[in-house]
Structure 1
């Protein structure tokens, strides 16, 4: 039995910008696509299959990918403002030509959306510290002012 040579693909770790996705935000997702097969792939196209919460550009044409080479599929998306915080299983369909034959494979990765309420904790912490600092400064000022009056 002889196995025919053909391209095959592996996806790397998907990265997003911004790195934290919350409901109502626009983001870019980059997915490394590597040809791990034993043949070059022609006219490679990546199609993102997402839940309906995510809208935007879900197709990226990558061109030819030589055996052992990698290209980055980039998608510009928006998470609906009602998107629930969760780890969404996301499929990426990779299609390519092998001569006259169109081939495809589907791979999966997780897309994490976090709660919008927790994303402002850094700002809230800074505001709380600033408030406490201002109260302390005003308290010290009042203390020294009252001490100065007692000394007169």
Structure 2
């Protein structure tokens, strides 16, 4: 029984599943009742129901471009933020703290990230020349608001690994001469193949020969850059010295990524033959044969 002017509270248990969006919904309560004469009536009353949610931003992936970062490299730090909450996140702002040896962008505004969606935020950074090899931690703050304007904040540690440049290893991969056997006192071409078997690119590579005293010709060759795993050939036009085996010192000069100069020395040995007179002898024999034929014909007459 519900008397006129009397107030009563009615408790209803409702549940909203994850697919319900935040907002205001109208629900309708239907009341069935009887008056004092026993007459039945009903009345429908609309009730406004407000569904609220809470955004939740989490990092789903972190990666760099390029994939491997070395000291002195410029790179992009990409962070994928995913909203796994039940409300949109608006006015999203990311603030990253750069550790020692790094420089670049520190803040990024990402706007609204709707529930169930994600966004990629990119920081353009540079590693210093003296950046230590290993993992570096970047503290990250993510600030955002829900649709009611209530502020939220999440904090993360973003790891970035700096790879080692490795060593430069320049060596002689092959030696060739043209002709195959140089002749004493004659010109020939010496080709020296240089290979970089190290893990770091070499800059300003040059080759210098220390020739024996009786050799002549060009003794320097500039190659330039020689990437890891690549090779290049330095050619020298020389004049061979005396007959025999000769040691030629090969000095390889280069710079690393920090523009520090380095030098390595190698030695090559090749044989020089004595001057060939076979051609001259053959020519003389031909002349002698002609003379003998003429003498024979003259005597026959």
- Please give the TM-score of this superposition, normalised by the length of structure 1: 0.75
Q: How does 1:59-138 map to 2 (within 5 A)?
A: 59-98=107-146, 99-117=148-166, 120=200, 123-127=227-231
Verify: 1:49 aligned to 2:153, yes or no.
no
Q: How does 1:14-53 map to 2 (within 5 A)?
A: 14-53=62-101
What SS does the aligned partner of 1:7 have? Answer: coil
> How far off its partner does 1:104 sit?
0.6
Q: How many pairs does the alignment contain?
A: 135
* Bigger Rg, structure 1 or 2: 2
Segments of 5+ residues of structure 1 without an aligned counterpart are 135-141
Deviates more, 1:61-70 or 1:111-120: 111-120
Structure in which a larger fraction of residues adopt strand:
2
CA-to-partner distance for each residue in 1:74-123, whole Å, 9 max, x for gaps? 10111111100011122321110123332110122320001223552692
The higher-RCO structure (CA 8 Å, 6+ apart) is 1
- Please give the TM-score of this superposition, normalised by the length of structure 2: 0.40
Structure in which a larger fraction of residues adopt helix:
1
C-alpha distance in 2, partners of 1:37/1:49?
A: 26
C-alpha distance in 1, partners of 2:89/2:149?
A: 12
C-alpha distance in 2, partners of 1:50/1:11?
A: 18
RMSD over equivalenced CA pairs, Å: 2.8
Moved over 6 A (4+): none
What SS does the aligned partner of 1:124 have? Answer: coil
What SS does the aligned partner of 2:91 have? Answer: strand
